[in-house]
Amino acid sequence: MLLTSLLALAGTDAGLAPSGKWTVDYRADKCVASRPFGAEPATYIALQPYVSLDVIGAKLILVAPNIEGSGVRNGTAKISLQPASTEKTLGYVSRDSQLDGARSYEMSLDAGTMAQIGQATSLAITAGKEEVTLETGKLQPVIDAAEKCNDDLMRSWGVDPAARAAPLGNPGQWFTDDDYPPAAARRHVQGNATIVLTVDPNGEVKGCRIVATTGDADLDKGTCDVARAHARYVRKDGADRFSVLAVHWSL
């Protein structure tokens, strides 16, 4: 079920002013808070919290009219947060969209950067040839609404956000190139899967469910097989706990 939550946050006169309200989109596999700025074709800023119980952070996505041509580009973005005049430097991945003539700039925010952005009311972003200032209004209410959406998404998957299973080691190291599901690799299949692991009091995985599919049965099954083989969690008496992992399979 798709629900939409609207947050009316006013901007100021400097830079690009908002041309619409903040919208929190409850998608089937993620939550995205976004807002348009300026005249058509509009520039958008979006926040997408990580779908994880282990990592606090989000993707910050700038979508603007394409002035850089085609292809995928990597670079370093500079972001100025006002009114604190805090400068942040973040790596980005940029992609063009031939469909609507736009280009996206995607950056990763850790928990500390999220806290700083939450106090900002204006973002000045320089990424590649793109330079834009967005009068966002205070961003903490937007972050709070996106994180509430994320918790609601977890609950829709049968996951209690408070019942987090603590991993032993780094979950990112449980999935390696050598673990690529053979049947999918032979067919050159790639994709993103989100799985929910149910963890017993001994810290062992007792169940794995695909909640966002790669679209390929071999890749989905392989994701759960690898998780069952490698995932380990801290022992804790009491009821079962949960882990949510987003896995990107790429050749």
Q: Is the peptide bond before 171 cis (omega within 30 degrees of 0)?
A: no
pLDDT of residue 14: 57
**What confidence score (pLDDT) does residue 4 get?**
40
Rounded distance, CA 165 to CA 232, Å?
Answer: 9
Whole-number pLDDT of residue 251: 87
User: pTM of the predicted model, to two decimals?
Assistant: 0.86
Mean pLDDT, the chain cut into blocks of 10 residues (251 residues total): 38 74 95 96 96 91 95 96 96 90 96 96 96 96 96 96 94 92 95 96 97 96 96 96 95 87
- Cα Rg of the chain, angstroms: 20
Give me the amino acid identity at 137. Answer: G
**Is-contact 53 244, C-beta < 8 A?**
yes
pLDDT at 100: 85
